[in-house]
Structure 1
Amino acid sequence: MIVDKSVEYIHQQTKDQPFFLYLPLTSPHQPIVPSEAFQGKSGLSPYADFCLQTDAAVGAIFEALDASGLSDDTIVIFTSDNGSLLPVNYKPHQVKGHQSSYIFRGKKGDIHEGGHRVPYLLRWPGVVAAGSQSDETTCLTDLLATCAAIIGKPLPDGAGEDSVNVLPALLGQTTNQALREATVHHSFDGLFAIRQGKWKLILGAGAGSMGPPKPGIEKLPKIQLYDLEQDISESNNVYDQYPEVVERLTQMLKEIQRG
């Protein structure tokens, strides 16, 4: 229904009047309830069926833009607010060679990359080159400042303190330094992490996920530091090798928390 209403809304728009459409799909979030048309369609699992339903919803939006003659004048952003809810090595998918979190550690709710690293696809015909990529670290909070920059409307004082204009990254422009000084992460049960450049510091043991602590977690180091350039799967905790990085990032996170 929400997709049908969105398509209907698009068909009502004209080229001379800007519009904004926010479409928060319920798929593939829990509860896993693919509609009848998609049940069993993937041949893998109800979750995979639900992902196919998501694909179809996105396709319907693009078809509506094409039919309305609005495709060339519309920015489309597709992203998510968290990683997959499936556990690592989910057997119904693993036997078919699929891993929802790819090479990343963890899932939704975890402090590790599998919980926070999400798809971010943008189409802006004639402005953003097709197939282009950026290595800039961005956050969904950056959409506010970035959209404000696109339309040339500065944010009012006190608005979007955590939002950074990442338009240069979208346009493929090179900068002398990262657009974001750092990015703060937070797990389901309260673990904080901070990322700056290649470094990611987690102030706690384990994943900070929705389930109970795993046996033996009390024996793990209370600090985790990962070099994401060398260890994107976060398998090698190097906190004891770089105490100066741990100290610097810890102080930076405290300053950010103080506001």
Structure 2
Amino acid sequence: MKLYFLPFLFLAIYSCKEAEPASTPPNIIYILADDLGIGDIGAFNDSSKIKTPHLDQLANEGMKFTDAHTSSSVCTPTRYGIITGRYNWRSTLKNGVLTGISEALIPDDRTTIADVLGDNGYHTGFIGKWHLGWNWGTIQDSIIRGEGWDAKDTDNIDFTKEVTHTPNDLGFDYAYGHSGSLDMAPYVYIENGKATAIPDSVTVNTGKYSWWRKGPTSPDFEHEQVTPNFFNRGIKYISENAKNEKPYFLYLALPSPHTPILPTEEWQDKSGLNPYADFMMMIDDYVGKLVAEVNASGEGDNTIIIFTSDNGFSPAAKKKELEDKGHFPSYIYRGHKADIFEGGHRVPFIVKWPKEIKAGRSSDQIICTTDFIATCADIVGTTLNANEGEDSYSFLPILKSAEGKTARESIIHHSINGSFALRKEEWKLILCPGSGGWSNPRPNSKGIDTLPSYQLYNLAENPEETKNLITEYPQIALDLKKELVEIIDNGRSTAGPKQENDLGPKAWSQLEKIR
């Protein structure tokens, strides 16, 4: 190249850079409530008796998804799907949940949302309830015995030793939280693999709303203050990372309003309903404080805030008490936590991102909590490998445009006992005779063997799931069943090469019942 061309080349390069500035990646905050019903937030239930002004404002300033679902109707499985983008039943956990002493469910070599964002320049933080297992240190030459439901099951834990296979081993730069639900021992905070204090007492509570199992408790672990502590640490994380050049990702996993239901003194009796409603109001207020911190940081315009729940409300909320006062935690939907019915897995889902989302929008497209990892990959402009996010579909097109569509056409639901359902368009096929969970008719309850083995509902006409159409539309049921089995056998629901389910497709009994 001759030298007299160089000035023009430099000018051209400079001009191109000025014309197309690189976009700044957004900060991302994912707030996951625990056991919160879709009817507990005013933005999703015009008749809600619980005041949630800050969550309502978040929805009004962003957008809400009215047909959003968790991959499971209980805690651990849903959290697995959020972190990995994979349906929970593909893991080794085929039903139920982990406890506070369970070993790590996610292998270190599986790609997580923290890996995806960390590899693309993000500082990644986890604060809250993990409930995906990690490996406690043990007393010399001993192993942890039992499943974790009894206080003695923690006897062989050595709390002075490092905890391994923690969120730090799954891509999180910073991790602070406790192992299981707030009613599961041990009651110890772990920060980056180390206990913040060694347990010096054993606590138990048997209150109507505030019960928790007996177990070792650290001096800095006060059950009533756990939710405020996590919010305050989340706010601090935002404040500190807003000053850095890196964008940040905060996964704030709340232990509430799950049991123990513990509104602080300031919020007790504020709702006029019951302690669960008081607790909800307290959570709403803390969400308002967190959003205020984001705005104060100067990065509110380019920060994505997502708020959702890991499943529907729990019976511990005292459903009858609430309904007698006109509040319906599942809104118009049947069932609650643990169930295969809509109340078990249809959840509120709010996304605020002022830079990209026009305020006040609403979408009725189906999305799943497994879709988070693909959406984030889309946001940062990276592509997931064939063995990553196998059940994750990006909903970024919906966020960016009212005409945007997700590639998701169907969704698989899963209950606490491992029962399956497939939803496609208005149709939902349930492959068990009852709830598959805790509402009536329960699995193995009297008379359940007289019910049809399958249930088929048209949710457009009957969102309450009261009219079983299985005998009227057998071909629709057969088509949905075929699709469900294919998705299971393929090891993925997204396009791509076949993957293996952990332990193989014959590892759980519910699948064998539907073949």
Instruction: Give the TM interval when normalised to the shorter protein.
Output: over 0.9
Higher relative contact order (CA 8 A, sep 6+): 2
Q: Whole-Å Cα distance in 2 between the matches of residues 87 and 19 of structure 1? A: 35
1:243 and 2:474 are equivalent in the alignment:
yes
Which has the larger displacement, 208-217 or 46-55?
208-217
- Change in 2 beyond 3 A, CA 1:94/1:44: same
Structure 1 equivalent of residue 366 of structure 2: 137
Q: Whole-Å Cα distance in 2 between the matches of residues 87 and 98 of structure 1? A: 15
Determine which of 229, 238, 261 is the counterpart of 1:32: 261
Q: Whole-Å Cα distance in 2 between the matches of residues 237 and 172 of structure 1? A: 36
Which has the larger displacement, 111-120 or 161-170?
161-170
Q: Whole-Å Cα distance in 1 between the matches of residues 236 and 395 of structure 2? A: 31
Q: Whole-Å Cα distance in 2 between the matches of residues 112 and 85 of structure 1? A: 13
Pairwise CA distance, 1:88:
10
Q: TM-score, normalised by structure 2?
A: 0.48
Helix, strand or coil at the partner of 1:165: coil
Structure 1 equivalent of residue 94 of structure 2: none
- Change in 2 beyond 3 A, CA 1:217/1:88: farther
Deviations 1:182-212 (A, max 9, x none): 1001111121100111110001101011475
Helix, strand or coil at the partner of 2:255: coil
Helix, strand or coil at the partner of 1:106: coil
Unaligned runs of 5+ in 2: 1-228, 491-515
Structure 1 equivalent of residue 433 of structure 2: 205
Structure 2 equivalent of residue 195 of structure 1: 423
Runs of 4+ in 1 over 4 A off after TM superposition: none
- Change in 2 beyond 3 A, CA 1:37/1:91: same
Structure 2 equivalent of residue 90 of structure 1: 319
- Change in 2 beyond 3 A, CA 1:154/1:187: same
Helix, strand or coil at the partner of 2:249: coil
Structure 2 equivalent of residue 51 of structure 1: 280
The one-letter amino acid paired with 2:448 is: I
Deviations 1:75-132 (A, max 9, x none): 1000111011138982321222110000000000000000010000000103111111
Q: Is the 8 A contact 2:395 2:406 kept in 1?
A: no
Structure 1 equivalent of residue 483 of structure 2: 252
Q: Is the 8 A contact 1:202 1:223 kept in 2?
A: yes
Unaligned runs of 5+ in 1: none
Pairwise CA distance, 1:180:
0.9
Q: Is the 8 A contact 2:306 2:349 kept in 1?
A: yes
Q: Is the 8 A contact 1:191 1:203 kept in 2?
A: yes
Larger of the two Rg values belongs to structure: 2
Pairwise CA distance, 1:222:
0.6
The one-letter amino acid paired with 1:7 is: I
Q: TM-score, normalised by structure 1?
A: 0.94
Structure 2 equivalent of residue 234 of structure 1: 465
Determine which of 332, 336, 342 is the counterpart of 1:107: 336
Q: State the identity as a percent.
A: 45
Helix, strand or coil at the partner of 2:391: coil
Residues matched between the structures, number:
258
Q: Whole-Å Cα distance in 2 between the matches of residues 40 and 8 of structure 1? A: 29
The one-letter amino acid paired with 1:234 is: E
Q: Is the 8 A contact 1:88 1:107 kept in 2?
A: no
Q: Whole-Å Cα distance in 2 between the matches of residues 58 and 237 of structure 1? A: 39
Structure 2 equivalent of residue 186 of structure 1: 414
Q: Whole-Å Cα distance in 2 between the matches of residues 7 and 41 of structure 1? A: 24
- Change in 2 beyond 3 A, CA 1:39/1:202: same
Determine which of 62, 65, 69 is the counterpart of 2:291: 62
Pairwise CA distance, 1:178:
5.9
Alpha-carbon RMSD: 1.9
The one-letter amino acid paired with 1:3 is: F
Larger % of strand: which? 2
